[in-house]
Amino acid sequence: MIRMTKLTDYGIMLLTHFARQPDGSMYNARDLAAAAGLPVPTVGKILKMLAREDLLISHRGSKGGYSLARQPHEISVAEIIGALEGPVGLTECSAGPGTCDQESRCPTRSNWNRINRVVLEALKGITLSEMTTEDLRALPAARLRGGPERQPAQKS
């Protein structure tokens, strides 16, 4: 079974809290942990990882916390997974050349690389703002296939 770690799942869930709020909203680890029902140390670890990868900005001080580094429609699920898990690779060889001892004689390597590219493009085609949608089936099929970028709705 191919599965993300719980930290990555939690990280995406935490980022949706930011994405649902007005631009520039800040949260600290304690408030996010309470909202998500997660332990504070786990949330703190995830927030630090996301800040290290420039998806969040850390604000110091007594009123500090974290805020999104970019608009939610500018952050892809692939970026989030990459920040928390490393490069997306369904098999060892799809992470990059020279990572598998069987690479030179593997008859399926090119097909795994092709599959990995399709999965990666699908993840790049879904944004953090779209992850706040209750049901991705409500999105146009072209978006789920990595189609043209949909512009976010204008606030009135």
Query: In the structure encoding, which two tokens stand for residue 52, read together?
Result: 């290290």
d(CA 61, CA 12): 25
Strand partners, 57: 67
Per-residue model confidence (pLDDT) at position 156: 42
Model confidence pLDDT, tens digit, residues 43-56: 999 999 999 999 99
Per-residue model confidence (pLDDT) at position 102: 80
Closest CA to 28 of 66, 69, 77, 74: 66
Per-residue model confidence (pLDDT) at position 106: 84
Amino acid, single-letter form, for residue 141: A
Q: State the residue for tokens 């630090």.
A: 48
Model confidence pLDDT, tens digit, residues 62-75: 888 999 999 999 99
What number of helices (H) and strands (E) belong to the chain?
7, 2
Does residue 148 have a pLDDT over 70?
no
Q: What is the mean pLDDT of residues 31-42?
A: 95
Model confidence pLDDT, tens digit, residues 2-22: 788 999 999 999 999 999 988
Per-residue model confidence (pLDDT) at position 135: 66
Mean pLDDT estimate for the chain:
84
Does residue 125 have a pLDDT over 80?
yes
Per-residue model confidence (pLDDT) at position 62: 83
d(CA 86, CA 95): 9
Does residue 117 have a pLDDT over 80?
yes
Does residue 138 have a pLDDT over 80?
no
pLDDT bucket at 32, cuts 50 / 70 / 90: very high
Per-residue model confidence (pLDDT) at position 24: 76
